[in-house]
Amino acid sequence: MCGIVGYTGSGSATNVLVSGLKRLEYRGYDSAGVALELADGGAPGCTLDVVRSTGKVAGLEEELEAHHSNATCGIGHTRWATHGRPSVKNAHPHTSCDGRIAVVHNGIIENFAELRDELKGRGHQFKSETDTEVFAHLIEEAYDRHRAEPDALMAAVREACTFVVGAYGLAVVCADEPGTIAVARKDSPIVVGCGPDGSYVASDVIALIDATRDVVVLEDGQFACLTPQGIEYTDEQGRSIRPQVTHIDWDIDMAEKGGYPDFMLKEIFEQPRVVRDTLVGRLAATGELDIDELGMTYEELNLVDRVYVIACGTSYHAGLIAKNLIEGWARIPCEVEAASEFRYRNPIITPSTLVVAVSQSGETADTLAAIRDARIKGAKVFGITNVVGSPVARESDGVIYTKANKEIAVASTKSFIGQVVSLTLLALLLGQVKGKLTTGQVRMLFHELGDTAEQIQWVLDTQKEAVHEAALACKDARSALFVGRGMGAAISNEGALKLKEISYLHAEAYAAGEMKHGPIALIDPGFPVIAVATKSPTYDKTVSNLKECEARGARIIAVATEGDEDIRKVADHVIYVPAVRDALSAITATVPLQLLAREVAILRGCDVDQPRNLAKSVTVE
């Protein structure tokens, strides 16, 4: 999500930091900043020049041009807002009270509120709304205690980390120790390496690939001290360690793909992180949901008596899943409409109507037009998007950001999962505000939602062969049918879209119970039918529908719950997912369909990252 770059050596720190931050732009961000060490007129230390801006790295680069810095040491950061809204004051780096220590940080400090109160009580002045600033003040206090030691900065960072509960990738500079960068890692990626001109740190290897191909990926509880001469590694007790060095033989293209053969697979594998990042900071210590971007009071939310979810394409399918959750948990009528249709009819909208606009880019024209129409008619509008400051975000009363980062592959995968998680949060909040869910139920469902990150990873780690075998059954087909019931029916729509979108194989989705009302006539021997048949209240009925397909010679591919051997009596191929509450099954059950679509596309010789070039097939008269 956020990005870290640091450098100390004989070259231009400004150039290294800007170049590295640009390499990390694919991760998505709302602000950027650097802290550069400037010579202090012959004094033993230096001063820190902190430059920050909102928006693109190019804007930061323009500001830095006016500084004419010849700094050879510094740290930089791209931020995606978690604690505190996007602004210059909330952008990294953050500094101590005296401005002598600067910190960049990825991750989340779960106990930041308690630490902040304690530090304020001891006289520290905070300048931002972020959790990260806590680190700057903790290190400042610890540095005063270790000032006489030869490795005072490293000792201070190690001590500060003992107070923090949560995740961190951390890089720190101190004006009293020029040329030194202290680095720490816990549950947030950090990579360090040495090049001919100095030492480097980053949150992603892509930022270092021009400088060195031999890197160390820090493990949890490991620390690194970077100087122009090299890097020293220590554990939590300050004892020297010798970490494993990894040689990177990727080219730039492969580095951008994280070592994966294509962006689509990379983005599918990023989905566990998307789940975690979208949920960060959303559950308060009291057990209630915390969505500070809501833009509506709980009293206003309690007055909502109808919800419209408006979206296009993949986002529309996320809305179909939200309908099940909102009506099930909050007992509010919910309609899902294609934005392109919503704007051209006269829907029933009152001041107690909530319109939820879902858009990956935040720029979808039909969705924006629908938002404007809904606002004119008096509805409250809530946006769900991946892009901070996008038109959908600006024109909505409140917003949830999906934290999916930039998505490059043409088929939306991780953005879809982020949207489903965000909509699930909204459904939980409505259920909580309406009094249909207790605090205990919300807490339990929230933690189960968080567990889907590990469940997705299980699918990715264990079902590769099953997906490949199933894809072979679709490779030479001319059409395919996706079926399911309840939540499975909603997921089937997304599966069909993914298959036709990247493999150019025609596919349709139907509620399984509707098979006998026409579609079953299309089934010939060998026709692929892909079924979402996870354990649910309608499982037996779904199996019954599949037997109808089996009787007509269909080749059946089932997405089923781990341990379900009975499904093999009717299915030719089975892809398993972990057992999960039916209401949350959409997240895990979608992943096999994404993998299947990609595998079929590759078998059919398609480029899974790029859309077909329609220009060659369209004649303009």
Positions marked catalytic: 2, 616
8 A C-beta contact, residue 469 and residue 596: no
Q: Which residue has the tokens 């620390």?
A: 223
Task: Report the alpha-carbon distance of residue 113 to residue 131 in Å, rounded.
Answer: 8
390-422 exposure pattern, b = at least 16 Cβ within 10 A, e = fewer: bbbbebbbbbbbbbbbebebebbbbbbbbbbbb
Task: Indicate the DSSP class of residue 516.
Answer: G
Task: Report the alpha-carbon distance of residue 128 to residue 92 in Å, rounded.
Answer: 10
Find all residues with CB under 8 Å of 253, minimum gap 6, and list them: none
Nearest to 19 by CA among 54, 80, 61, 72: 61
Task: Determine the distance from the C-alpha atom of residue 40 to the mean position of all C-alpha atoms in its chain, rounded to a whole number.
Answer: 41
8 A C-beta contact, residue 519 and residue 510: yes
Task: Report the alpha-carbon distance of residue 258 to residue 239 in Å, rounded.
Answer: 32
Element (H, E) at 302: helix 298-302
Find all residues with CB under 8 Å of 106, minimum gap 6, and list them: 1, 2, 3, 4, 167, 168, 169, 170, 188, 189, 203
Task: Report the alpha-carbon distance of residue 436 to residue 337 in Å, rounded.
Answer: 25
455 burial type by CB count under 10 A (0-12 exposed, 13-18 middle, 19+ buried): buried
Task: Report the alpha-carbon distance of residue 428 to residue 328 in Å, rounded.
Answer: 10
Task: Report the alpha-carbon distance of residue 188 to residue 49 in Å, rounded.
Answer: 26
Question: For 362, what's the count of Cα atoms within 13 Å in the CB-facing half-sphere?
Answer: 22
Tokens linked to 14: 């400004």
Nearest to 556 by CA among 565, 564, 545: 545
The neighbour count for residue 210, using CB atoms within 10 Å, is 15
C-alpha distances (whole Å) from 586 to each of 127, 349, 356, 410, 415 are 42, 29, 19, 21, 14
Nearest to 181 by CA among 206, 199, 194, 164: 199
Task: Indicate the DSSP class of residue 240.
Answer: B
